[in-house]
């Protein structure tokens, strides 16, 4: 019988925090690459999508090299009393890294479908670039952005490899559901592993179902508005 639900709460907290961060980073990255970056666009796009194709354990090693105590950044953080490695924030950073490409690519695809004449018209009316971004671009591209947000959330919820390398498996601190599944199977506790497998599967299905329900609701609302019904 499962009595410790800390992996569930840690997974949900991590997924929500990382999705919040990834949402803004992905939008700004997609906006910049799509409309403002002229040189090296292919290189930057490749770097932004690299975590999508690299093994998660490789990403975990890179994070250790960046934030570890032997790195310059790690030494600075340690000097002010901040330790990222093997902390809850390490799970968030790992989730951000692996889910960012999904948010970035989905938002970029949505932005590319927006008619650029709308931006020219907004500039002619005196709107600032920041206002155009939030008041014109984001509302029009919102269905794609919302889809990217859900994909980022579910990817963060199921992250394992980079988290294991960078945050470790500390019960009550960094042990997420995927972590609990792996070590339950390794320890021969198949009933516990199956419980967590079913839980994360149902949770993911619920999130995807709510996304599809919201999309269908929005389409019906827009259709009724277009025909005045």
Going by the DSSP 8-state scheme, the letter that residue 68 receives in this structure is S
Kindly state the average pLDDT of the residues 184-203: 93
Spatial CA neighbour of 153 closest among 89, 200, 219: 200
Q: Give the pLDDT confidence of 4-57 residue by residue, as tens digits.
A: 899 999 999 999 999 999 999 999 999 999 888 888 888 999 999 999 999 999
Q: Give the C-alpha separation, 202 to 130, whole Å.
A: 39
> If 0-12 CB within 10 Å is exposed, 13-18 middle and 19+ buried, where does residue 225 land?
exposed
Torsion sign, CA atoms 150, 106, 215, 228? positive
Tell me the mean pLDDT in the region 211-225: 68
CB-based burial label for 191 (10 Å; 0-12, 13-18, 19+): exposed
pLDDT at site 84: 92
C-alpha 28, offset from chain centre: 14
For residue 3, count other CB atoms closer than 10 A to its CB. Answer: 4
Judge contact between 101 and 49, C-beta under 8 A. yes
Q: What is the largest CA-CA distance in the chain?
A: 67
Residue with tokens 């516990």: 192
- Predicted TM-score (pTM) of the model is 0.89
Q: How confident is the model at residue 2 (pLDDT cuts 50, 70, 90)?
A: low
| Domain 6-220, CATH among 1.10.3720.10, 3.90.1150.10, 2.40.50.140, 3.30.70.260 | 1.10.3720.10
Give the model confidence (pLDDT) of 118-166 as tens digits. 888 888 888 888 888 888 888 888 888 988 999 999 999 999 999 999 9
Structural domain boundaries in the chain: 6-220
Per-residue confidence (pLDDT) for residue 154, from 0 to 100? 93
Per-residue confidence (pLDDT) for residue 124, from 0 to 100 = 86
3-state SS track over 5-46: CHHHHHHHHHHHHHHHHHHHHHHHHHHHHHHCCCCCHHHHHH
Residue 226 has pLDDT above 50, yes or no: no
């Amino acid at each position: 019988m499962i009595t410790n639900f800390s992996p569930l709460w840690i997974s949900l907290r991590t997924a929500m925090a990382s999705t919040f961060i990834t949402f803004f980073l992905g939008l700004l990255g997609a906006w910049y690459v799509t409309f403002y970056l002229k040189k090296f666009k292919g290189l930057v796009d490749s770097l932004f999508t690299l975590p999508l194709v690299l093994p998660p354990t490789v990403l975990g090693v890179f994070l250790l090299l960046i934030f570890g105590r032997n790195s310059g950044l790690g030494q600075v953080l340690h000097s002010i009393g901040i330790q990222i490695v093997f902390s809850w924030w390490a799970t968030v950073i790992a989730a951000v890294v692996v889910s960012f490409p999904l948010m970035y690519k989905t938002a970029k695809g949505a932005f590319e479908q927006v008619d650029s004449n709308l931006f020219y018209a907004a500039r002619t009316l005196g709107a600032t670039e920041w206002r155009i971004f939030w008041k014109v671009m984001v509302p029009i591209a919102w269905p794609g952005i919302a889809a990217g947000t859900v994909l980022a959330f579910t990817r963060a919820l199921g992250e394992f490899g980079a988290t294991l390398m960078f945050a470790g498996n500390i019960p009550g601190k960094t042990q997420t559901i995927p972590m609990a599944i792996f070590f339950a199977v390794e320890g021969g506790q198949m009933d516990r592993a199956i419980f967590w497998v079913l839980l994360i599967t149902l949770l993911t299905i619920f999130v995807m179902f709510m996304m599809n329900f919201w999309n269908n609701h929005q389409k019906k609302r827009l259709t009724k508005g277009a025909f005045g019904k």
